[in-house]
Structure 1
């Protein structure tokens, strides 16, 4: 099977579509986080159980923070795959493949790197694009519930 310039362009478009989906998922998660936290704050104001909603509000906040970090980590992996394909470093096995484990194993061999999925997600959770949003929201929830109690 040959892999010409048109095939390469198609493969790069497939990878770019994955990166775009990951970015839109991250945006949607931020929207859901604000919606759920605001709804829980409104419910706490309407009911007399502010302490219960105080603790419940942190559950979706933490869950969506980790999920957002996961999508950002996937986006970073697929951006590396994009660079890998763009530099013509793929093998026959990797033609039109979006299987990130193939690329991670190759990347680890080339760069003498040790990929760790958990560490990659944690690193993504504390990047400058995610950390300020979620830590700011956490502080806001804490301040509102402290004033409400």
Structure 2
């Protein structure tokens, strides 16, 4: 999942690089067609996955995604999606929390694994998160 503008730009750049690799592969005359097709499919699969991540990020920023939580395990992803959906950067969230941007980056990179309950509550409140549809089984 793309979590910030830097990752967004890097992902777009990686797609461009992979597309260039595919283009160069297609120019090769000495690669057997079956091997060429396998390599092309492999790179295309990576491109498709990254394009889906870009689309998800764009949709979140545009408010086109309904953010729901099926279980408590979904909470880290919900917090990240909520921040992106609000158009809030990691730096802006850090300012609201009174911490450094790098801390928010670490929280999100680790899916909020190392966060204490008090800080988790502060993040929730900083995002003005309302309780989404929760299914308890």
TM-score class normalised by the smaller sequence:
0.3 to 0.5
TM-score normalised by length of structure 1: 0.37
Larger helix proportion of the pair:
1
